[in-house]
Amino acid sequence: MNKFFERRYVVTGIFLVIMITLLGRLYYIQIVDDRYTIYANSNVRRVQIQYPSRGPILDRNGKILVQNVPIYDILVNPKDVKPFDTLKFCKLIGIDKEGFEKRMVKAIKYSPNKESIFEKQLPYELYAAFQERLPEFPGFDVLPRTVRTYPDSTAAQFLGFIGEVQDRDIKRSNGYYKSGDYIGVTGVEKFYEQVLRGQRGVKVQMVDSRGIPKGSFANGALDTLPRAGERLTSSLDIDLQKLGEKLMKNKLGSIVAIEPSSGEILCYVSSPTYDPNLMVGRERGNNAAKLYNDPYNPFFIRPIQAYYAPGSSFKPLSALIAIQEGVITPQTTYYCPGYYVAGNRRVPCFHHEVHGEVNLAKAVAESCNGYFDMVFEKLINRNGAKKTDTSFNYWRNNVAKFGLGSRLGLDMPSEGRGNLPKASYYDKVYHKGGWRSSTVISLGIGQGELLATPLQLANIEATIANRGFYYKPHLIKAIGDKQVIKHEYNVKNYVGVDSQYFKPVIDGMQNVVEYGTARASKIPGIIMCGKTGTAQKAVGIDNSVFVAFAPRENPKIAIAVVVEDAGQGGTWAAPIASFIVEQYLRKSISQRPSGITPDYYMNANLLPDLNISLQNMLKERRRDSIRAVRADSIRKVKNDSIKKAAQLKTANNNKSGGLSGLLTSRRTGK
Amino acid sequence: MSINNQRSFFFNVDWLTVLLYLALCTIGWFNIHAAVFDEKHPSIIDASTNYGKQFIYINVSIVVAIVILLLESRFLTALAPAFYGITVLLLILVLVVGRNVGGNQAWINIGGGFRLQPSEFAKFSTCLLLARYLSSVNIKVTELKSFLIAAAIIGFPMLLIMLQPDTGSTLVFCSLIFVLYREGLSPYFLVISGLLIVLFVVSLLYNPLYVVLTLVIIAALIIFLFRKHRQLIFTMLVGLAISVTFIFCVKFIYSHVLKPHQTERINILLGITTDLRGKGYNVNQSKIAIGSGKLWGKGYLHGTQTKYAFVPEQSTDFIFCTVGEEWGFAGSVVVIGLYLFLILRVIYLAERQRSPFSRIYGYGVASVLFFHVVINIGMTIGIVPVIGIPLPFISYGGSSLLSFTILLFILVKLDSNRMGIV
C-alpha cells in the first residue's frame, strides 16, 4: 500500500468507461443498425439474370419466319491472360491487330479482374475453329447466346428487328432492362415485345471481394428459372409473302392481302425490302447504315406508313354510300360526254373517253369519273349549297366508317392514319362558305386531299367482300402454344351500308375484271371482283393501284396493290394482285388468256430515277399539288400552295429526312 | 531448489490469469482459422497455413511462459537494464538490416521463414526498466528530474520505433502515462492529455475561430462564477492560452507533422472525407463485417465478409471482424469481457504486490493491454483512426503473441513470488 492507493479506482474507472463505450458502439452497429446486413449481402450477392429464349414467329401454316440460332461471345478476363500468339488469335476470330489491342484496353478498363465481352456474336463457323484452339489462349472464354435468324429472309418490315436498348427504353421499363439488353425495335418484335421476351430468371451467386463466383446464394433459394418467350403464329402465308416480294422487286409500293372472314393479313409486302438477316450479327452496324442511307428507304413500312391517293379504287365505296343514303339507285343513269361539269370546272374522264349512257355497274366497270362526280355532288349538295359543310361532314363520317382517316389499330407500331379532310379543313383553306361541292369534287373520285394506306385500301375490300363489315386486320393470329386469340379480332365492325346494296357494286367490280379496266388480269375459273385506280399525282407518273377480292361468293382474300410511279392500275397493280390471289386460292399460277406471266413482273424495274424524282420534288414545292384545284381563282391557288408547302416542310422534318425523306413525302401523293 | 519449493511455486501461480490467457489464445486461433480459411488445407493444425503456424506459436508461447515461471524473480529485476539494452540495440539494428513490410521497417529475418519484430519486445523491456527505475529508493515521479528520466526511458524506444516508422507501436508507449499516474504523477497530465485529444478533434471538425470563441466564453463564465478564487482564475487563463495556441497548431501538425495517409485516416474517421473504395475501404468493410453479425453472428466459418476476403489484413489487425461477424454481438461481448476481466485481474494482481517493482510492472502490463484492445477494436468499428496494432493474444503473428505472453507471464511470475523478497 502506498499513498496513491486510491488511484487504482481512477484507473479502473477510466478503463471500464472506455471498454463500455466500445460495447455500446458494438451494440449500435450490430444490433440497432440494420444497414450493415444489407451491405454485407450486396457485397457477396451477384444477381445474374438468366435470359429466356425469345419466342419464335411462325407463319399461318406453321413455317418458321424467325427463330433463334446460337452465336458465341468471346469473353476475356485480363487477370488470367498470359502471352499467346496474338496473330493466330486475330486470324481465328477475324479481327486485326489494332482491333485486338483496342478490345483488350477496353476489357482492362472495365475491370482487370472480371470477365467482360471481348468480341460479340461470333458465328458458328468461326466459333468451331476458335473453340479447338481455346486452350492456347488462357484468360479467354466463350459464352453461347442466341440471336434471331430468318430462314427465308422474308417479311422484314413485318418482323422488324431487335437491338440493344436505348436509355429511354431503360427509363420507361422501370428498371426491367439494363444496358446491353435487347429489345424489339420495330415491327412485331416491338409490338409483341412483352410476349416474345419471355420471363427472365435469376441466379443469385456469391462472389468474393474480387468478384469471383463462389457458388449459389442460400443454396439457390432465391433462384428462378427463365421462361421462354411465347411463340407467335402470324397470319402471313410465307409462300404468298415471298411471291409478293418477288413481284414487287425493283418497284416502290406495297401489297396487303386480308382474309375477309377473319381480318388476318395474308400478305404484307413493302417494297423495296431487305433481308432481315442483315440486321443481325457482327455486320449489323454497317448493314443498318447502308439501309438507312438507301434513298428508296427500305425501312419505310409502306403498307401502313405510305399515303396514297386511292384514285378510282375509291369509287365502289363512293357508290355504296350513295345508295345507302338514297341519292342514287343502282338503276340511276348518267350520260357521260367524256367529262363532268362541276361549277365552272370540267373534270375529264380518263383519257377523255366518252362512256355515253352509264348505270352504276357500268360506271364502276369502266371507271367513269363523270358518274361518280355526279354522285358526289348529289351527296354534298343534298341540303343545298349553303349547307355544304354539314353535308360534307356527313359524307366524311360515312367514309370514315370504312376505316379511312384513322388508324385501324393494326398490331404493329407506327401505323399511319391516312388523310380524310373535315369541312373545317376547307373552311380554313378557303374561308368559311368559300367552297362548294365543285371545289372538292376530286374527292369523289378518290383524289385530292384523300389519302389512304394500302392497309386501309385492303380493309375496304375486305368490307365489301363481307358485304358490310370487317374484322380488325391483324398480323398475329394466335399467341403461344394455347393459340390465344385476342377478343377484339372476333368483333364485326359494321360500316353502315346494308348488305343488300352491295350487289350492284360488286357486279360492277366483277365486270372490271371480266371486261373492264383490269380484264388482262382475269384469272380463269376464279371470279375476282376488283377496281383499278390510276392515282394521279401533281407531277411524275401516276401510281398504279388495284384493289380486289375473290372469289365473288364466299371471298377468301381481299387485296390492295400499289405500285408507285407505274402508270395505270390495270397495267401493273392488277396483274400483280391477280397472281397473289391465284397463288393463294390455287397454290399455283395458271396460264392466262391475256398471256401475262409472273416472270415479266418480277423482272420489271420501275424504280424512279432519283435525279428526276428530286427535280420533281423541288418543282412540286413551288406548285399547287392538286390538279383539280388549279382551275380555281388565283388567290385561292396561292393560299393553298403556301399552305401545302408549309405542310410538306413539316412532313419532311417529321420523316426520316434527307433525300429519302423527300422521296417519301412525295410518294404520299400530295 | 527443493521439490517442495517447486510445488509451492506452481501453487502460487494465478490460475485465473492463465486461464484467461489460454481462452484468448484459443479464440484467436479459431478466428484466424476462419479468417484465412483455405479449402485445400482445412485442418486447423496444418502447418502450411497461417492457422497452423499460429498453433505452433501458441505452443512455443506456452513453453516460453513455463520457462519464465521457472526463472528466478530476482533474475528479472536484475536483468531489466540488459533486456532494455538488447531491445534498443535490436531497434537500431532493425533500422539498418530490417525488412520493409507494408511501409514499416519493423522486421528482422531470423531464418527458417520466421521474422522478429523488435518493437513488440520493446513493450515488456520498457515496462521492466520503468518498474526498476521507479521502484528504486528515493525516486518520486512528482519530482521533475525523476519524471524526466522516467519519460526518457519510455521515450527512447518510442523515438526509435517512430523512425521505422511504426506509428501504432509508438503510440502504445503513451499508455504508460497510467503507470506514472498511479505512481503519483499529477492528475492534470491525464486531464490535459484528454483535453488535448478533444481539442484536436473539435478543431478539425469545426472552424478553429468558433472553437476559440466557445472556449473564451466558457472560460469567462467559469472565471465569473469563481471570481473569488484567484488561483483558479490564473490557471484558467494559462489553460486558455495553451488551448488557443494548440488549436492553431493543429492545422500545422495536421499538414506538416502527420503523414498524408494518417491525416486521411483521421479525416475518414471524422467523416470529413468519405472514400469507401479507396482509403476508407478497410474500415467500411470491417464495419460491414461486424455490423452484419447481428446478435448471434453468422456462425463459425460462415461469415461472408470473412470467407470472401472483403476485409484486408483480417487475420492480423482486423481479426476482430471475424469475431464480430461470425459470433455476433454475443461473441463480441464475450471477447471484450475476457479482456476487461484480464485487465482488471492484472490491476488486482499489481495492487496485491508487496514490492513496488511488481506493482509498477503490473500497471505497465494493464496499460499496454488496455491500449491495444481499445485502439484495435475501436478502429475496426470506426471510432478511432486506423492504427496498425495487433489485438493481444488473438491477432495472427508470432512476435506479437510471444511478446504479450512474456509481458503477461513476467507479471504472473512476479505475483507467484509476491510473498518472497525481491
Burial of B411 (0-12, 13-18, 19+ CB in 10 A): buried
* B332 close to A (CB below 8 A): yes
Nearest to B308 among A12, A14, A209 (CB): A209
Contact across the interface for B351 and A25, Cβ inside 8 Å: no
| Rounded (5°) CA angle A292-A298-A301 | 115
User: A14: nearest CA in chain B?
Assistant: B178
Q: What is the rounded CA–CA span in Å between residue B311 and residue B276?
A: 12
Which runs of consecutive H residues, i.e. helices, occur in B226-355?
A: 230-252, 260-269, 281-291, 304-307, 319-351
**pLDDT of the residue at B17:** 93
Nearest to B295 among A18, A25, A31 (CB): A31
Q: Name the nearest CA neighbour of A189 among A201, A197, A179.
A: A197
B230-245 average pLDDT score: 82
Nearest to A26 among B304, B344, B381 (CB): B381
A485-530 per-position pLDDT tens digit: 888 899 999 999 999 999 999 999 999 999 888 889 999 999 999 9
Does the pLDDT at position A624 exceed 50? no
Contact across the interface for B181 and A7, Cβ inside 8 Å: yes
Output phi, psi for B353, to 5 deg: -75, 145
Length of chain A: 670
Contact across the interface for B288 and A31, Cβ inside 8 Å: no
Query: Is the torsion defined by CA of A566, A567, A573, A576 positive or negative?
Result: negative
Q: Which residue has cell 450490430? A: A30
Does the pLDDT at position A469 exceed 80? yes
CA distance B311 to chain A (A): 8
- The mean predicted confidence, pLDDT, of chain A is 85
Q: What is the rounded CA–CA span in Å between residue B52 and residue A411?
A: 70
What was the ipTM of the complex prediction?
0.90
**pLDDT of the residue at A627:** 40
Strands A232-234 and A57-58: parallel
* A26 close to B (CB below 8 A): yes
Q: Is B192 helix (H, G, I), strand (E, B) or coil?
A: helix
Contact across the interface for A44 and B340, Cβ inside 8 Å: no
Does the pLDDT at position B203 exceed 80? no
Name the architecture of domain A48-234: Alpha-Beta Complex (3.90)
Nearest to B183 among A4, A16, A18 (CB): A4
B158-167 average pLDDT score: 86
* B344 close to A (CB below 8 A): yes
Contact across the interface for B287 and A36, Cβ inside 8 Å: yes
Higher pLDDT, A111 or B30: B30
Q: Name the nearest CA neighbour of A206 among A220, A190, A225, A194.
A: A220
Q: Which residue has cell 398504279? A: A544
Classify the phi-psi angles of A207: left when phi > 0, otherwise alpha if psi is within -120 to 50, otherwise beta: beta
The CA–CA distances, whole Å, from B339 to A201, A339, A656 equal: 50, 114, 77
Cis peptide before B165 (omega within 30 of 0): yes
Which residues from chain B sit within 8 angstroms of residue A8, using beta carbons? 182, 347, 351
Nearest to B336 among A12, A19, A36 (CB): A19
Q: Is B110 helix (H, G, I), strand (E, B) or coil?
A: coil
Contact across the interface for A40 and B304, Cβ inside 8 Å: yes
* A23 close to B (CB below 8 A): yes
Does the pLDDT at position A630 exceed 80? no
**pLDDT of the residue at B3:** 41
* A40 close to B (CB below 8 A): yes
Question: At residue A341, what is the residue type?
Answer: V
Which residues from chain A sit within 8 angstroms of residue B383, using beta carbons? 21-22, 25
* A11 close to B (CB below 8 A): yes
Residues 381-400 of chain B whose Cβ lies under 8 A from any Cβ of chain A: 381, 383
* A43 close to B (CB below 8 A): yes
**pLDDT of the residue at B4:** 43
Contact across the interface for B294 and A30, Cβ inside 8 Å: yes
CA distance B82 to chain A (A): 28
Nearest to B294 among A31, A207, A210 (CB): A31
Q: Give B166-185 as a DSSP string.
A: -HHHHHHGGGGHHHHHHTT-
**pLDDT of the residue at A261:** 94
**pLDDT of the residue at A13:** 92
Q: Give A123-158 as a DSSP string.
A: -HHHHHHHHHHGGGSTTEEEEEEEEEE-TT---HHH
For chain A, give every domain's residue range.
Answer: 7-33, 48-234, 304-470+496-597
Higher pLDDT, B8 or A445: A445
> Which set of grid coordinates corresponds to residue A521?
388480269
Q: What is the rounded CA–CA span in Å between residue A34 and residue A443?
A: 74
- The answer to whether residues B387 and B375 touch, using CB atoms and an 8 Å cutoff, is yes
Contact across the interface for B295 and A35, Cβ inside 8 Å: no
* B289 close to A (CB below 8 A): yes
- The answer to whether residues A235 and A266 touch, using CB atoms and an 8 Å cutoff, is yes
Residues 363-382 of chain B whose Cβ lies under 8 A from any Cβ of chain A: 363, 366, 370, 373-374, 377-378, 381
Query: Is the torsion defined by CA of A646, A649, A653, A655 positive or negative?
Result: positive
- A–B CB contacts, 8 A cutoff, strictly below: 120
Does the pLDDT at position B407 exceed 50? yes
**pLDDT of the residue at A613:** 64
Contact across the interface for A11 and B290, Cβ inside 8 Å: no
- The answer to whether residues A200 and A175 touch, using CB atoms and an 8 Å cutoff, is no
- The answer to whether residues A204 and A222 touch, using CB atoms and an 8 Å cutoff, is yes
Output phi, psi for B271, to 5 deg: 75, 15
CA distance B153 to chain A (A): 22
Does the pLDDT at position B419 exceed 80? no
Q: What is the rounded CA–CA span in Å between residue A71 and residue A464?
A: 48
* A634 close to B (CB below 8 A): no
Does the pLDDT at position A647 exceed 90? no
Strands A162-164 and A140-149: unpaired
Nearest to A12 among B304, B309, B344 (CB): B344
CA distance B90 to chain A (A): 32
| Rounded (5°) CA angle A513-A515-A521 | 40
Does the pLDDT at position A474 exceed 50? yes
Within 10 angstroms of residue A42's Cβ, the number of other Cβ atoms is 11
Contact across the interface for A209 and B366, Cβ inside 8 Å: no
Q: What is the pTM of this model?
A: 0.65
Q: Which of A194-198, A629-633, B315-319, B386-390 has the lowest mean pLDDT?
A: A629-633
**pLDDT of the residue at A637:** 47
User: B354: nearest CA in chain A?
Assistant: A1
User: B352: nearest CA in chain A?
Assistant: A1
Contact across the interface for A25 and B381, Cβ inside 8 Å: yes
Q: Which of A135-139, A214-218, A298-302, B325-329 has the lowest mean pLDDT?
A: A214-218
CATH number of A304-470+496-597, picked from 3.40.710.10, 3.30.450.40, 3.30.1330.60, 3.90.230.10: 3.40.710.10
Q: Which of A421-425, B188-192, B248-252 has the lowest mean pLDDT?
A: B248-252
pLDDT tier at A1, thresholds 50, 70, 90: very low
Burial of B249 (0-12, 13-18, 19+ CB in 10 A): middle
Query: Which of B139, B177, B182, B368 has the highest number of chain A CBs within 10 A, making it the mutation to test binding with A?
Result: B182
- The answer to whether residues B318 and B303 touch, using CB atoms and an 8 Å cutoff, is no
Question: At residue A259, what is the residue type?
Answer: E
> Which set of grid coordinates corresponds to residue A405?
382517316
* A32 close to B (CB below 8 A): no
Does the pLDDT at position A625 exceed 60? no
A273-312 per-position pLDDT tens digit: 999 999 888 788 899 999 988 888 899 999 999 999 998 8
CA distance A115 to chain B (A): 18
Which residues from chain B sit within 8 angstroms of residue A208, using beta carbons? 307-310
Q: List, in order, residues 6 or more apart from A75 with CB less than 8 Å away.
A: A115, A116, A117, A118, A140, A141, A142, A143
B41-91 per-position pLDDT tens digit: 888 888 888 888 999 999 999 999 999 988 888 888 888 999 999 999 999
* B343 close to A (CB below 8 A): yes
| pLDDT cut 70: percent of chain B above it | 93
Which residues from chain A sit within 8 angstroms of residue B182, using beta carbons? 4, 7-8, 11
Does the pLDDT at position B276 exceed 50? yes
pLDDT tier at A638, thresholds 50, 70, 90: low
Contact across the interface for A15 and B184, Cβ inside 8 Å: no
**pLDDT of the residue at A235:** 94
Which residues from chain A sit within 8 angstroms of residue B194, using beta carbons? none
Q: What is the rounded CA–CA span in Å between residue A264 and residue A251?
A: 25
User: B327: nearest CA in chain A?
Assistant: A30
Query: Which of A1, A2, A15 has the highest number of chain B CBs within 10 A, making it the mutation to test binding with B?
Result: A15
**pLDDT of the residue at A561:** 95
- The mean predicted confidence, pLDDT, of chain B is 85
| pLDDT cut 90: percent of chain A above it | 40
Q: Is A108 helix (H, G, I), strand (E, B) or coil?
A: helix
Higher pLDDT, B413 or B228: B413
Q: What is the rounded CA–CA span in Å between residue A208 and residue A434?
A: 81
Q: What is the rounded CA–CA span in Å between residue B204 and residue B210?
A: 12
B110-139 per-position pLDDT tens digit: 766 677 888 888 998 999 999 999 988 778
Q: Tell me the helices (H) and strands (E) count for chain A, helix number first.
A: 24, 22
Query: Which of B304, B332, B384 has the highest number of chain A CBs within 10 A, making it the mutation to test binding with A?
Result: B304
Query: Which of B310, B346, B376 has the highest number of chain A CBs within 10 A, making it the mutation to test binding with A?
Result: B310
Classify the phi-psi angles of B311: left when phi > 0, otherwise alpha if psi is within -120 to 50, otherwise beta: beta
Contact across the interface for B293 and A7, Cβ inside 8 Å: no
Q: Which of A616-630, B356-370, B398-412 has the lowest mean pLDDT?
A: A616-630
Q: Is A419 helix (H, G, I), strand (E, B) or coil?
A: strand
| pLDDT cut 70: percent of chain A above it | 90
Output phi, psi for A69, to 5 deg: -125, 150
pLDDT tier at B11, thresholds 50, 70, 90: low
Strands A253-259 and A264-271: antiparallel
**pLDDT of the residue at B9:** 57
